[in-house]
Structure 1
Amino acid sequence: MTNPYWSPALARLEPYVPGEQPKSTDRLIKLNTNESPYPPSPRAQAVLQEGDLGDKLRLYPDPESSELRAVIADQFALAPEQVFVGNGSDEVLAHAFYSFFQRPEPLLFPDITYSFYPVYCQLYGIEFQCPPLRDDFSIGVDDYAVAGAGGVILPNPNAPTGRYLPLAEIEKLLKLHPQRVVVIDEAYIDFGGESASKLIADYPNLLVIHTLSKSHALAGLRLGYALGQAHLIEGLNRTKNSFNSYPIDGIAQRVAAAAIADRGWLADNCGKVIATRERCCAALSALGFDIVPSTANFIFARPPVESAESLYQALRQRNILVRYFNKPRISDYLRISIGTDEEMDILIGACKEILSH
């Protein structure tokens, strides 16, 4: 039912539905939203203990996030003018859709992908086409050779499948649409992939988007950023400054800068998640699960039962949350975030018990 005070455009929207966030996580193993199983960098945590934070809250933050952008630029051997920051990668994505994809031609993205993309298209009135993933859930770059496309966006690794597209294939995609922006959404790139950011100097149509929610364990902070040549970043800033000139609060800027600078911690944290992922894939394969190759902090798996939803419900009854998508082509699969070794052992044990009945 719509409200008579809503605009027609609002009434037509079908908002994004995030993964379940229970009010209480006591006794709950939460493997449904791809959060980090470990705390953030000690350097980031130390910033929150600094004594001057309260006094600084009376002042507006730096609208340019200059220090944070400099730290990010240093991480990727870029200039600060090639970095844009926002409140989580979702806000950065929203600005990218507004800035680059409102065109008469359709935007291209996979049929199985991050489900926020069609929501942004609804919000901004963007037409889109969805080249289907191949039967093994891989992306076929040749399927994006669509004349007159308004742009391309895809996650790499893809979500919810976890499959990774090598940089050589990303370059082919960039060459297919040299006059349109190609966004590579790298929310999970730190878990085994190679970032397309190293292609930025050669491709003026490339925009790479990252988040601190996954590998940096800062989902509660809400910080994301985009990397690209200066003209693309200028476009994002034009949109941002027409919407909210002070998007990143001062505390978030300082915590994020500390986290990004702690490269050793990032490597160690991702290494632990990768090791647990590989061990879990082997254990679930031994139970008969069909595992899609993953380069993310989750696995996408088809259980050896008639209904993936029934296994989802059985795990839920045991206080284990995973993600089930009741959608065409993937309704036989579960997406399982990688938790601690102890949490994954409990998951594997629960699956053994359920499947034995």
Structure 2
Amino acid sequence: MSRFIRELYKDFKSYMPGEQPKDRKYLKLNTNESPFPPAPEVYQAMRDADMEQMRLYPDPTGSKLKGKLAQLYKVQPGNIFLSNGSDDILNFAFMAWNDSADTLVIPDVTYSFYEVAAKLHEVNYEIKPLKEDLTVDWQGYIGIGKNLILPNPNAPTGIALTRVQIEAIVNSNPDNVIVIDEAYAGFGAESAVPLTVKYDNLLVVQTFSKSRSFAGGRLGLAVGDEALIQDLTKMQYSTNPYAVNAMSLILAEVAVDADLYYQENLQSIIESREYTAERLRELGFAVLPSKANFLYIKLEGFGGRELYERLKERGVLVRHFAKPRIDDYIRVTIGTKPQMDELIAVMSEVIG
């Protein structure tokens, strides 16, 4: 750290991405990536891409992709926002609608990037605890009169709210922006996207990373009222107007057209998740009810850090968060059924 850094950031704790070790071959179940490759059409589009065009800046509006997404989500192109991953969009949301005069409400057990972004932008925020069973206390958000950010399903628990519950929150806070982070959309939870045509204070954020096997392409999208989209665009054009690279735009357009391929993969992951949950319960694990592409689990007599380290020693990577209330848990990404069988075999060895 240099002597020139702002006082605000000297002791700043930034977001810590999941580890990507290269020292050996691992069964990688720690960063919630898809176990399936992009659609064959995406491969073909990459081969056919006119590389001479890479000397030009990409379309900052992403108009062609927005048109395809609007058709898929049954909204208008003006209701779609694109950027370099969903975290980029969340960052713009914190910039656009929150400052030291507002209060943003964040769940206590959730995606740690939210609190990092709030501190980065000097946003006044408060932490709202989950219930004892680690579910979101959605009724506690009714008429709260503050801006909210809620992941659905929640991470790292995987537990989802229903669309009816989300609508009750949005409807009861008409003068506040409600951001629903659907990074894990497609794995069984109800999307709030249909509600965006009814409420002008709702923004739904999604990503191509998990459901469309495109984590390396860095593409996020948001759906909301056109005025909210204009706010985000103002933030983006004030920082990086060419946020989405040309190749990602080309490949994402093809990915949307190949939606059936991805829907089949999502169903395979859901089936693998339920299979794995049952096998883990047979081993004695407590498994939270997940609507995401991961499971949150714990085993009596073992700490979360101990399970993480023992699995890593045997070539299996999972995620552990050393935080109050969840220190005994580990998060396990869902892979293919053979990968999950490998996990179960190693887990059986670990716990004896």
Which residue in 2 is equivalent to 1:112? 109
Judge conservation of contact 1:105–1:148 (CA < 8 Å) in 2.
no
Which residue in 2 is equivalent to 1:73? 70
Which residue in 1 is equivalent to 2:226? 230
C-alpha RMSD over aligned residues: 1.2
Give 2:28's match in structure 1, choosing from 12, 27, 30: 30
Q: Does 1:278 align with 2:274?
A: yes
Which residue in 1 is equivalent to 2:253? 257
Which deviations, in whole Å up to 9, do the C-alpha atoms of 1:79-115 show, x marking residues without a partner? 1000000000010111111111225121012100000
Give 2:262's match in structure 1, choosing from 266, 277, 292: 266
What code does the residue aligned with 1:305 have? G
Q: Does 1:93 align with 2:90?
A: yes
Deviation for aligned residue 1:23: 2.9
Which residue in 1 is equivalent to 2:158? 162
Aligned length: 352
Q: Does 1:331 align with 2:327?
A: yes
Give the TM-score of the pair, scaled to structure 1. Answer: 0.96
Give 1:198's match in structure 2, choosing from 194, 198, 206: 194
Bigger Cα displacement from structure 2, 258-267 vs 137-146: 137-146
Q: Pairwise mapping of residues 153-192 of structure 1 onto structure 2 (< 5 A)?
A: 153-192=149-188
Deviation for aligned residue 1:10: 2.4
Give the TM-score of the pair, scaled to structure 2. Answer: 0.97
Secondary structure, aligned partner of 1:112: coil
Which residue in 1 is equivalent to 2:337? 341
Q: Does 1:244 align with 2:221?
A: no
Give 1:290's match in structure 2, choosing from 283, 286, 290: 286
Q: Percent sequence identity over matched residues?
A: 39
What code does the residue aligned with 1:261 have? D
Q: 1:276 to 1:147 in 2, by over 3 A?
A: closer
Which deviations, in whole Å up to 9, do the C-alpha atoms of 1:177-214 show, x marking residues without a partner? 11111000001120011110000111100000000000
Which deviations, in whole Å up to 9, do the C-alpha atoms of 1:287-337 show, x marking residues without a partner? 000000000000000123332211111110001000011100000101000
Q: 1:243 to 1:51 in 2, by over 3 A?
A: closer
Bigger Cα displacement from structure 2, 3-12 vs 158-167: 3-12
Secondary structure, aligned partner of 1:108: strand
Q: 1:140 to 1:207 in 2, by over 3 A?
A: same
Judge conservation of contact 2:151–2:182 (CA < 8 Å) in 1.
yes
Secondary structure, aligned partner of 2:186: helix
Secondary structure, aligned partner of 2:129: coil
Deviation for aligned residue 1:148: 4.4
Question: Which runs of no fewer than 5 residues in structure 1 stay unpaired?
Answer: none
Secondary structure, aligned partner of 1:180: coil
Give 2:216's match in structure 1, choosing from 214, 217, 220: 220
Which deviations, in whole Å up to 9, do the C-alpha atoms of 1:114-169 show, x marking residues without a partner? 000001001100011111111111111122246542x0001100000000000111
Secondary structure, aligned partner of 1:84: strand
What code does the residue aligned with 2:257 have? A
Judge conservation of contact 2:110–2:156 (CA < 8 Å) in 1.
yes
Secondary structure, aligned partner of 1:158: coil
Which residue in 1 is equivalent to 2:48? 50
The runs of at least 4 aligned residues of structure 1 exceeding 6 Å deviation read none
Deviation for aligned residue 1:51: 4.6
What code does the residue aligned with 1:50 have? D
Give 2:350's match in structure 1, choosing from 346, 350, 354: 354
Judge conservation of contact 2:70–2:76 (CA < 8 Å) in 1.
yes
Deviation for aligned residue 1:14: 1.2
Distance 2:40 2:202 in 1: 33
What code does the residue aligned with 1:180 have? N
Secondary structure, aligned partner of 1:295: coil
Which residue in 2 is equivalent to 1:322? 318
Secondary structure, aligned partner of 1:114: coil
Distance 2:245 2:6 in 1: 31
Distance 1:10 1:231 in 2: 32
Distance 1:350 1:245 in 2: 47
Q: 1:300 to 1:51 in 2, by over 3 A?
A: closer
